[in-house]
Amino acid sequence: MQAVKNQITNYLDRAMTQIRDLGLVPEATQEAPVVALIEKIADIDEAKAVAIARTLSQASTFNDVVRNEISQMNIGERYREITDAFNSIRDDAKRMVEQVEDGKIDTFERIGNVWMKVTRGDIATRFEEIKKTYLEVAADSKDQIEREARILNAYQDFRGAIKEAEILSLDILKEAEAQLNTAKGKLAQASEAVENFEGDDLSARAKLELARDERLRELQDAEERYQIAKDLSDNLSINYNTSEVIMARLMQTTSIKKRVYQQAVTFFGTNETVLTALSASFTGLFGLHESTQTLEAMKEGVSKSLEDLADIGGKVQDAAVKAGYGPTIRADAVKKLVDSVVNFQERTVEMVDEMRKLSTKNSEEIREAVEEGKQRLSKIINRGESLALPHKV
């Protein structure tokens, strides 16, 4: 019996030690209600009852820890970020190429490009974000897998303790059943004694009836303890067998997650250069298209310039031939000049006299303007509002 108690203690202690090492055991726990029921069958076999109670008192704590840890599988949503990043890279790259297909980028398109870089970043930056997101997911996946593995190992030990508790409960059930059968036999004897009583001694009959009632009460107590022991053993058996199937599925899930993680790590480790090449290629395509459009613009510009040269050059050359081989001075122009000279000579005398008068008048006006300017400048200097001009004006 001591070996069995040591075995159940070893299983339980190993399980609790593992989750304690993970920092998952709460500081204070409430006593499980089932412990109060186990106390009612403790008189059947106290050592076994105490061992079962200790195991089940930790069950709630252990199961809460397992449920909370296993349920926190939040990874799997960030793949949307990676998908959206790849989609935006392809869409923006196509849009940028379409912008320059007409050979120019208008103001609205330029503003859109600036806004794209501000809100989503350029193509190279978004490839870097994809890498960053992947590394975060990979790190979280690794942590989840390691924690799940430790919890599964701890659960295996805890299930061992549950199985040992089931064995002990079956032993108690066997003893409770024996006590129940004994109580039934005693009640049958007491009842038979009352039924077979003969005589008029009411006191003796009352004593027999009291003994029968005591045996009945003992039977009821034995039956209650038997039922508690039976419920305990049945549910421990259900617990062990059902959890085995459920934990097997969880182990499958963890195993698959581990395989996916390994595949993801291998894929990224061997294909990171592919992401780099994609980043360079998408960025390079836009530059290539822009360079191509620039070359086409230059070729088209030169071609149109040659066409214009052909059109304009012919007209210029025609005019040059006419100038080179045609008459130099027109006769009508010479006649007009002669008339102008004669007319000028006629007006010379009048013009000289008129200009002399204007010259005298102009000289006087200049003198007066200069004198007025000097007077104003002197007043300004006296007020200290300006520097003096040179003494000669």
For residues 15 and 154, the answer to whether their CB atoms sit within 8 Å is: yes
Is the pLDDT at 364 greater than 80? The verdict is yes
Segment 87-113 shows an average pLDDT of: 62
Q: Please state, rounded to an integer, the average pLDDT across all residues of the chain.
A: 75
Segment 230-250 shows an average pLDDT of: 81
Q: What pLDDT is recorded for position 75? A: 54
- B/e letters for 352-388, b = 16+ CB within 10 Å, e = fewer, are eeeeeeeeeeeeeeeeeeeeeeeeeeeeeeeeeeeee
Q: What pLDDT is recorded for position 93? A: 67
Q: What pLDDT is recorded for position 98? A: 62
Q: Mind listing the pLDDT tens digit for each residue in 20-35?
A: 776 766 655 566 677 7
Q: What pLDDT is recorded for position 388? A: 46
Q: With cut-offs at 50, 70 and 90, classify the pLDDT of residue 170.
A: very high
Q: With cut-offs at 50, 70 and 90, classify the pLDDT of residue 387.
A: very low
Segment 126-150 shows an average pLDDT of: 78
Is the pLDDT at 376 greater than 90? The verdict is no
Q: With cut-offs at 50, 70 and 90, classify the pLDDT of residue 392.
A: very low
Is the pLDDT at 65 greater than 50? The verdict is yes
Handedness of CA 126, 130, 135, 141 (dihedral sign): positive
For residues 281 and 93, the answer to whether their CB atoms sit within 8 Å is: no
Q: What pLDDT is recorded for position 273? A: 74
Q: Which of 39-48, 96-105, 140-149 has the highest mean pLDDT?
A: 39-48
Segment 368-386 shows an average pLDDT of: 74
- From 142-151, 203-212, 226-235, the region with the lowest mean pLDDT: 142-151
Which of 278, 167, 291, 292 lies closest to 232 in space, CA to CA? 167
Is the pLDDT at 71 greater than 70? The verdict is no
Is the pLDDT at 301 greater than 70? The verdict is yes
Segment 51-62 shows an average pLDDT of: 78
Crossing angle, helix 2-21 and helix 123-195, to 10 degrees? 150
Q: With cut-offs at 50, 70 and 90, classify the pLDDT of residue 174.
A: very high
Is the pLDDT at 148 greater than 90? The verdict is no
Tell me the CA distances in angstroms from 340 to 82, 246, 337, one per residue in order.
92, 124, 5
Q: What pLDDT is recorded for position 240? A: 81
d(C-alpha 229, C-alpha 38), whole Å: 8
Q: What pLDDT is recorded for position 258? A: 79
Tokens of 53: 């109670």
Q: Which of 38-47, 124-133, 237-246, 329-338 has the highest mean pLDDT?
A: 38-47
Q: What beta strand segments (E) does the chain contain?
A: none
Which of 36, 26, 27, 40 lies closest to 57 in space, CA to CA? 36
How wide is the angle at C-alpha 287 spanned by C-alphas 283 and 288, nearest 5°? 115
For residues 72 and 148, the answer to whether their CB atoms sit within 8 Å is: no
Tell me the CA distances in angstroms from 270 to 138, 259, 263, 275, one per residue in order.
15, 16, 11, 10
- Which pTM does this prediction carry? 0.50
Q: What pLDDT is recorded for position 393? A: 42
For residue 247, what are the contacts with CB-CB under 8 A and spacing of at least 6?
152, 155, 156, 159
- B/e letters for 214-248, b = 16+ CB within 10 Å, e = fewer, are ebeebbeebeebbebbbebbeebeebbeebeeebe
| Residue 58, CB-side half-sphere exposure with 13 Å CA sphere | 26
Q: With cut-offs at 50, 70 and 90, classify the pLDDT of residue 177.
A: very high
Q: With cut-offs at 50, 70 and 90, classify the pLDDT of residue 215.
A: very high
**Which one has a higher pLDDT value, 257 or 173?**
173
Q: With cut-offs at 50, 70 and 90, classify the pLDDT of residue 383.
A: confident
The neighbour count for residue 40, using CB atoms within 10 Å, is 14
Is the pLDDT at 307 greater than 50? The verdict is yes
Which of 234, 236, 220 lies closest to 179 in space, CA to CA? 220
Residue ranges of domains in the chain: 2-198+219-296, 335-393
Tokens of 350: 């009048």
Coil vs helix vs strand at 40: coil
Coil vs helix vs strand at 1: coil
Q: What pLDDT is recorded for position 213? A: 93
Is the pLDDT at 389 greater than 50? The verdict is no
For residue 80, what are the contacts with CB-CB under 8 A and spacing of at least 6?
none
For residues 76 and 144, the answer to whether their CB atoms sit within 8 Å is: no
Coil vs helix vs strand at 44: coil
For residues 233 and 173, the answer to whether their CB atoms sit within 8 Å is: yes
Q: What pLDDT is recorded for position 4? A: 46
Q: What pLDDT is recorded for position 326? A: 67
Tell me the CA distances in angstroms from 28 to 19, 54, 64, 65, one per residue in order.
15, 15, 13, 13
**Which one has a higher pLDDT value, 105 or 44?**
44
